[in-house]
Structure 1
Amino acid sequence: MNTIRDRGERGAAVLRRFSRSTTMTLLCVVLAGYLALGLASSGSFLEGPSVRTFLRYLATPVLIGLAQMVALCVGQLNLAVGALGGFTACLMGVLMADQGVPAGVAVAAGVLAATAIGLVTGLCIVATKINGFIVTLGTMTILQGAQYWLVGTRTVDGYSAGLKDLGRAAPLNVPLVFVTALAAAALLAAFLYRSTAGRRLLAAGGNPLAARLSGISTDRQIVLAHTLSGLLIGVAALTATASLPGVNRSVGGDWLLPSFAAPSSAAWRSPEGRSPCWARCWRPS
């Protein structure tokens, strides 16, 4: 009996903490906003096609927000989010449409290129000791030029029909691109909060001096954060390429500000200053 009573008390305590937590507050805000949109649209926003379109739109902002959040976790900024995403999307499109590369190979090449650029960015920040703001600003300028070199003023739309079908696919009315974004958020949350490497990354951003005194290499965490950011941007470029009818030099041009909005607002709401990965999924802009 005592065991059952203890379990009941622990469960009640967990529920009380949850009801007073930032998570509960954000859930209530999300629900209220969703219902308000439904009422404002006379119920059409709650219908299947509207929900499907809304979730498909959310996929890319979720991923770029996660990419920015990883950099923010170590006290860095990534101003190259949009430029890297646009370059990667155009690289995928050009490889498929102009070079005849299979979709799977082109996508893998694009994601790997974005990850490699993130790695190089992190290494440059650590090696030069220049603020990440300046380094990523330079990276952004270079990548914008590279994106223009790839596509010029044209729109590349002759790439894999299978990839476009993936962007339109929505089993059970949930777009696959949105499922991809949710999976990325879940994997990132598991890495940050359940793995030793993720906790070291958060520790390095939370208190760099204490992290160094504990034997954690803050330089290594900065490189890791920018590498993960590049990887997530590569996945965002994939969802954008799959969802859009074509890619051109404008892709990624409006990604930078939304990438800051959600992580910053989620962290502002959190007393610990952390940005929950799931919360990022519902604050795309």
Structure 2
Amino acid sequence: MIKVGDYNLLRVKKETDFGVYLEGIDQEILLPARFVPHGTKIGDELEVFLYHDSENRLIATTQRPLGKAGDIVSLRAVSTTKQGAFLDWGLMKDLFVPQSQQLTRMAPGQEYLVKIYIDELTGRLAATEKIDRFLSNEHLTVKEMDQVEMVVYRRTDIGYVVIINNQHTGILHHNELFRSVEPGDKLSGFVRRIREDKIDVVLGQPGYKRVENEAQKIMRLLQENNGYLPYHDKSSPEEIQEFFGMSKKTFKMTIGALYKERKLEFTQTGIKAVEEE
């Protein structure tokens, strides 16, 4: 099955001076010569992205756009017309946003959070700023402790609304956030709590996986600083965040685990790596 607006693994059927043709279901799809990998021959399978060119022909590329059909991404407007705006999404042909799909009139050079979709009438890829209709928490596809991908949507009094896996909305609370973020930023995290249809998320990985990753980071920093660091459980949250890039709570939990494993010891002024015997 051919998927427009997505990646497909297609076989090379024939070669021409201007590219190669790939096997489709009921048609041959051109991969222009500039995108054909060196050494490609008939019978090879290539991973390509499919979309329609300016003449509405289905065409393939080995370029990787900034998003595919269904993705919610932040893209920069490059030009506008009375009919709509065009966004740079990493391909030669810019992505069209109809005027009816804009919340406010787009301006060249500005970034906009949009969802990439396939227009039902034309079958062509387009983008829309009207994202809310695609998001729902009525039937959740995630559960507590699931790792998820998020896009920052908007700021609120208690934190940031994030879009989870391009499907749901959740809240990343201010007290769980130890770095600056902006709408459109992509983040990785996990579901901490689900209350009815409300989802609370945090950054990083759940449970012991998160501790293990932070533990490796602390041990690396110790090694890079001759086995000693002037930080401990009395250090300020700001100092710990600036140096380690983690919350004080995570820092204390991690150094506690490392102490129990006899990988570090506490001094009056910091932490010290235990020398291997």
Q: Which has the higher strand share?
A: 2
Larger relative contact order, structure 1 or 2 (CA cutoff 8 Å, min sep 6): 1
TM-score normalised over the length of structure 2: 0.18
Q: Point out the structure with the larger helix share.
A: 1
TM-score, length-scaled by structure 1: 0.17
